[in-house]
Amino acid sequence: MERISERTKAEVILKFKWNSQIGEHEEHQFCRVNVWRDLDLFPEKVRDMIIDRKEGDRFSIEFKKGELFNYSEENILEVHNFQFNPPKPFNTKIKPKVGRFYPLGFFSGLAGVFPENTKPARVIEVGKDKLKIDTNIPIAKYDLKLDGYIVSVRKKSADVGGECRDWCAISLENGPGMQVRFDGTPTDFEIENPESFRREDETEDKIFYKEPRITTHIDSKAHENLVELYKKILPERGKILDLMSSYQSHIPENENLKVVGLGLNEEEMKQNPRLSEYLIHDLNSEPRLPFADEEFDTVVCDLSIEYVTKPVELVAEIKRVLKKDGIVSMSFSNRYFPPKVIKLWIDLHDFERMGYVIELLLRDGGFKDFKTYSIRGYRRPYDDKYFGCTLFSDPIYVVYARKA
């Protein structure tokens, strides 16, 4: 069996685990490693674990805060309000909010920072005249555990040059850590502002979605990844509510699960093989769910929270229909349907979107045992209609909690 060396290419899954004040987090990254080009960019501890491994091998490494990425109080800067200077036409529309991330290039007058700099910087204080921003890599302040898995190893015939990839940086530098509050301070997602929930097309949903759309919303590999995750984190028996359901559910096949779909189009739900039964209901016009208190063991809202215009009311209803210790799981990708997505969603980084969902649940106060998951980097199936646009499978982001 082939072992990893500079003469090979390897497919490796890196799973980084870390804990925050609210719970547990896992970042899954699928890596296609050209060992000759990429190995030296791994931290020494990872290099030593990868070299000479074979298909099916596993390894674990722990990193202390600041070990992978430097964390320094010197990277927390105080700037004048007028230095927050987004480019036109955004400069009159965007106001800095506590806890939110903005490209570092939005802040003028910083040494060595150009307007094109897209590194995320977090606003942690907003004063009358000054702002305080954290320019550290968001994940740098946390201890990390890396679980690695060697998916495959194959010998290569030659190297003809190409890009060198720093897989730890790809996994962690731009995203992980953004989903949690800064030192416990609530993030200002402007949830009270009605403008946050405006949509390009305000046609009533029951009219807009009247015609069936028999299509999937993520590629088949992303669907497989979400189903596999749900096999691990959802119960193996009980009653599940599939909110904003349609043609495809992502709940594992299991005869011990009764799945109730709630959506807008009967024809779509009729063709969904995972649904035991379904109801037609417009959540945006009537957030109250047509179910008894504590009726469900689990509630999932997959690839749909970005279309909800009354999320605070919906979260309260999810809590009401869940049994004690019942699970709520909300998932999404980086794709959405532009006419009906809420304005706030468009403005957020993928990992901030997890933060938005967490904030909704934390504000309610009725949930505990938070977990988040990101799954990225897998190869897009060759037969997918968007294969020519991107080589990567749609990323998956999941926020999980239990009813307190």
Give the CA distances from residue 97 to residues 69, 125, 130, 200, in Å, rounded to whole numbers and listed in that order: 26, 8, 12, 23
pLDDT at 90 over 80: no
- Backbone φ and ψ for 36, nearest 5 degrees, come out as -60, -40
Mean pLDDT, residues 326-346: 97
CA end-to-end span of the chain: 49
pLDDT at site 162? 83
pLDDT interval class at 91 (50, 70, 90): low
CB 18 within 8 A of CB 365: no
At 210-229, the pLDDT tens digits run 999 888 999 999 999 999 99
User: Closest by alpha carbon to 231, among 248, 252, 249?
Assistant: 252
pLDDT higher than threshold 90 for residue 248: yes
Residue 271: CB partners within 8 Å, gap ≥ 6?
214, 247
User: Of 361, 302, 323, nearest to 237 (Cα)?
Assistant: 323
Closest CA to 29 of 219, 171, 143: 171
Token pair for 85: 């200077």
Chain-centroid distance, C-alpha 355: 9
Q: Is the pLDDT of residue 398 over 90?
A: yes
Coil, strand or helix at 250:
coil
Q: pLDDT value at position 93?
A: 79
Is pLDDT above 80 for 262? Answer: yes
Q: Does domain 194-403 have CATH number 3.40.50.12280?
A: no
**pLDDT given for residue 63 in this prediction:** 98
Label residue 283 by pLDDT band (50, 70, 90): very high
CA–CA separation, 118 vs 4, rounded Å? Answer: 35
- What's the pLDDT band for 332 if we cut at 50, 70, 90? very high
pLDDT above 70 for 385 = yes
**For the segment 193-204, what is each residue's pLDDT rounded down to a tens digit?**
999 999 999 999
Q: Which residues contact 135 (CB under 8 A, 6 or more apart)?
A: 75, 76, 77, 104, 119, 121
All structural domains of the chain with their residue ranges:
8-64+141-172, 73-136, 194-403
Asked whether the whole model's pTM tops 0.85, one would answer: yes
pLDDT surpasses 80 at 5: yes
What pLDDT does residue 160 have? Answer: 74
Contact 59, 145 (CB under 8 A): no
Q: For the sheet containing 76-80, what is the strand order? A: 76-80, 130-134, 120-126, 101-103
* Percent of the chain predicted with pLDDT > 70: 99
Q: Is pLDDT above 90 for 157?
A: no
List Cα–Cα distances, 388 to 114, 338, 380, in angstroms. 33, 21, 10
Share of the chain above pLDDT 90, in %: 93
As a whole number, mean pLDDT of residues 185-197 equals 97
User: And the tokens for 248?
Assistant: 């495809």
- Span 73-92, mean pLDDT? 90
Architecture of domain 73-136: Beta Barrel (2.40)
Pairwise CA distance, residues 260 & 275, whole Å: 6
Q: What is the mean pLDDT of the chain?
A: 96
Are 73-136 and 194-403 in the same CATH fold? no
Task: Dig out the tokens for 256 from the structure.
Answer: 């011990």
Summarize the confidence of residues 235-260 as an average pLDDT. 97
As a whole number, mean pLDDT of residues 145-174 equals: 93
- Residue 55, pLDDT > 80, answer yes
CA 402 from chain centre, in angstroms, equals 18
- What pLDDT score was predicted for residue 158? 80
Instruction: Verify cis geometry, omega within 30 degrees of 0, for the bond prior to 103.
Output: no
Q: What is the CATH number of domain 8-64+141-172?
A: 3.10.50
